[in-house]
Amino acid sequence: MTYQYSFKDCLQRAERITWRVEDIIGGDKKLDFSRPFLPESLARTAELDFLSAEERLTLNHVRGHAYLAIFGLVEEFILPFVLDHARPHLNGDDYRARAYLEFASEEAKHIHLFHTFRDEFQRDFGAKCEIIGPPQAIAQHVLSHDPLAVALLILHIEWMTQRHFQESIEDDGALDPQFKSLLLHHWMEEHQHAQLDAMMVQDLAANMTPAQIDAGIEGYLALGGFLDEGLKGQAQFDLEAFERASGRRLNDMQRRDFLRVQHQANRWTYIGSGMSHPKFLWSLSTLSPAKHAFIEGLAPAFS
Ligand SMILES: [Fe+2]
Ligand SMILES: [Fe+2]
């Protein structure tokens, strides 16, 4: 099985994309809190019909903050993983070595980008928003898994960012232009990452037995379960941040509805949209048709 992608193409496309963090945020480039940050397909505030339009916007901002924090957090394990994968190949194919180093450098830039947006958000939002973590403990847990499991999770995350932008952000004219610019610039570089990850998965699996591949895919599923628990905790933090920011205390039934809807919204945002991406599923199908069918059947629970 071979991919249509090449290291030379990925590197050359990456080299033509040259934005800096300072071009996107900072100075007079500020977040506009009169507009939503996330599209409704990810934020899912409308289902909470006991919230006013203004409260739904506040919740959208709280979810936008969590998006910044969660991406900052996942990129903290992607960066060392990609560097570890690049190191043994530094003396081989030059395009390959440079493509992975470029990938790692871009992820370091993305961590900086998400941190900078988060600092801007915290300066102007006016209420404390908590986040699951700490990032180092999450990174340590993720990186303790089989490399194939981690590579599959990263592949899932890269295709997920493509889907977020293409399916729900690109054509949404209501979003804050600054937040949309973040998502656009992230999307531009993630496309090469998704292709490089697909080749990384292929490389890792090439030296594994079918039983080892199955164990790697099981590891990916275990990481999905770990992520889902984290997202449940994040929905609780978002409820508390919403109440602080809006000054409204929800009753018990409203809180239950909030947590149910928002946990599911988080599941689609960070799990379902990656797990059901056709290109992610295609990579899985090349590793194990049985596991591919199982995961394809599981994905609707995260939609
Ligand atoms: Fe990234
Ligand atoms: Fe990436």
Q: What is the pLDDT of residues 18-64, one digit of tens each?
A: 899 999 999 899 999 999 999 999 999 999 999 999 999 999 999 99
Rounded distance from Cα 114 to ligand 1 centre (Å): 9
Cβ-contact 81, 197 below 8 angstroms: no
Q: What is the pLDDT of residue 92?
A: 84
Percent of the chain with pLDDT over 70: 99
How far does the centroid of ligand 2 lie from the alpha carbon of residue 10, in Å? 13
Q: CB under 8 Å to 84, separation ≥6 — which residues?
A: none
Q: How far apart are alpha carbons 149 and 295 in whole angstroms?
A: 14
Ligand located closest to 75 CA: 1
The pLDDT score that the predictor gives to residue 167 is 82
Those residues with Cβ within 8 angstroms of residue 133's Cβ, 6 or more apart along the chain or in another chain: 73
> Which candidate, 53, 60, 279, 251, places its Cα nearest to that of 156?
279
Residue 79 pLDDT > 80 = yes
pLDDT in tens, 142-199: 999 999 999 999 999 999 999 998 887 878 889 999 999 999 999 999 999 999 999 9
Estimate the crossing angle of helix 210-246 against helix 53-86, to 10 degrees. Answer: 150
Q: How far does residue 242's CA lie from ligand 1's centre (Å)?
A: 27
| Residues with a beta carbon under 5 angstroms from ion ligand 2 | 190, 193
Give the per-residue pLDDT at 170.
79
Tokens in use for 49?
A: 């019909």
pLDDT of residue 2: 57
What is the whole-number distance in angstroms between the Cα of residue 151 and the centre of ligand 1? 14
Q: How far is CA 7 from CA 57, 59, 139, in A?
A: 42, 41, 27
CA of 189 to the centre of ligand 2 (A): 7
Distance in Å, CA 190 to ligand 2 centroid: 5
Cα 246 to middle of ligand 1, angstroms: 31
What CA–CA distance (Å, rounded) separates 222 from 140? 15
- Kindly give the distance from the C-alpha atom of residue 195 to the centroid of ligand 1, in angstroms, as a whole number: 13
- Does residue 3 register a pLDDT over 80? no
- Over 60: is that where the pLDDT of 266 sits? yes
* Ligand 2 centroid to residue 158 C-alpha, Å: 5
Looking at residue 286, its pLDDT comes to 96
CA–centroid distance, residue 95 to ligand 2 (Å):
18
- 114 C-alpha to center of ligand 2: Å? 12
Residue 22 CB-density burial (10 A; 0-12 exposed, 13-18 middle, 19+ buried): exposed
> What pLDDT, on a 0 to 100 scale, did the predictor assign at position 268?
97
SS3 174: coil
